[in-house]
Structure 1
């Protein structure tokens, strides 16, 4: 259905703004906002249900819009002045979607191989770090990303933006640390925890069997539960004055070592 809305007081516009701003609203309705052509296309490709599309024809072509989403959805045209008020990004592409969220429980995870490679991040808070982790996971074509004890809503607009849509290209699950450790044991997946104590150099560990690489926050590291249940603690040798690096960078270094080993095995 095609509509035209010009008032910021319109109930649909108010709902869109609430979904952008409030995690509580996203959880209550099971909806979230995706902005940008690439991100919306990736969400649709991943099987997300697009509820409605808001577009500004001064920025985004109507003819392109018709080919972006084949689902029967509401297409809502808004004038440029209103679009600037509802767009989350500073530089925007003229198109925003309201989308139905998926469940990210561990029991929905399906592996296509007997030796999956998983990245686990415990209690990441910064949306930018979560987004960077998801981009790395996509680049490495990981089998899954698990977020343990999540402190940030996966559908936070900053997560989607910083991941450039890789939230939709990865198999992502959330759970408590205890639930994820139980899942790993049940599925015979080795657990390699990035930690300072009792650790091996990450290049000296064999990642070719089913493996989970676990990273914690830069400030507190991993909780004791992970260290107690690790197959092996691993470390990236640091040659400067500090003893840690950005969590997404550390994860990328270890992941691509694992990928190198698997390619050469």
Structure 2
């Protein structure tokens, strides 16, 4: 096990750069923080490039890191890598997924969702609902943003999550005769009026503006969730959960 004690070490500087989208995109890697996320990453070991652990913590005995390099660092270095209020002292540098989505029968398409907590929760919900893949369109927060990773709770390692052009994906889905459901308030049907089959795609959109109109014009049908109380709307992540579970039933 290597040990690093200088905050000026080149590897430390590189790890800290991974807290920026620019460096994540450039290197094709990202960093996860905390025992749960590192453990989930290790279960999909081919993505893990390196484990970083504070000399005050150590690896849990039950973990099998295999041949993955492990570097021990001072608590000062460990804290400098953290973006949480209560650092756990353990991190993993991971390779971004390049999974191809070919035979997916159920998909979640996300249009310009900018809140990292919402995006992470939607990814986690899609994972829990057994959705085959998630496509995140332009204008959305980075899928490897640290808050997205924490909110998704390891789902990045469970199913394909890709960045893509939603118009192109709609074309592909239409070619396969997969029904595409948008979410809208006008010109839409109550979601309970739809009987879904084994295959479908759901498009959900931006917290303030919803799904772009040009995307909605290409769907099979657009859906809304009735509001029975006085709230004006549902949180996009909550709405996504309701719709995915209904369509997947």
CA–CA distance in structure 1, aligned partners of residues 50 and 84 of structure 2: 19
Pick from 24, 42, 60 the counterpart of residue 40 of structure 2: 42
Shift of 1:103: 2.6
Note closer, same or farther for the CA distance 1:209–1:53 as it changes in structure 2 (3 Å cut). closer
Which consecutive segments of 4 or more residues in structure 1 shift more than 4 A?
none
CA–CA distance in structure 1, aligned partners of residues 31 and 77 of structure 2: 17
Aligned residue in 2 for 1:187: 176
**1:27 pairs with 2:25:** yes
- Structure 1: which 5+ residue stretches go unaligned? 261-265
Note closer, same or farther for the CA distance 1:45–1:61 as it changes in structure 2 (3 Å cut). closer
Aligned residue in 1 for 2:117: 128
- Encode CA deviations 1:183-202: one digit per residue, 9 max, x unaligned: 21122110111101111110
Note closer, same or farther for the CA distance 1:46–1:188 as it changes in structure 2 (3 Å cut). farther
Pick from 146, 149, 152 the counterpart of residue 160 of structure 1: 149
Aligned length: 249
Q: 1:154-233 alignment to 2 at 5 Å?
A: 154-233=143-222
Structure 1 window deviating more from structure 2 (195-204 vs 37-46): it is 37-46
CA–CA distance in structure 2, aligned partners of residues 224 and 31 of structure 1: 34
Note closer, same or farther for the CA distance 1:110–1:68 as it changes in structure 2 (3 Å cut). farther
CA–CA distance in structure 2, aligned partners of residues 49 and 117 of structure 1: 24
Q: TM-score, normalising length from structure 2?
A: 0.92
Shift of 1:89: 2.2
Aligned 8 A contact 2:47 2:97 in 1: no
Aligned 8 A contact 2:97 2:160 in 1: no
Aligned 8 A contact 2:113 2:207 in 1: no
SS class of match (1:85): helix
Aligned residue in 1 for 2:98: 103
Shift of 1:74: 2.5
**1:251 pairs with 2:243:** no
- Structure 2: which 5+ residue stretches go unaligned? none
- Encode CA deviations 1:16-58: one digit per residue, 9 max, x unaligned: 11101x1111111111111123212322333543222111242
Aligned 8 A contact 2:120 2:149 in 1: yes
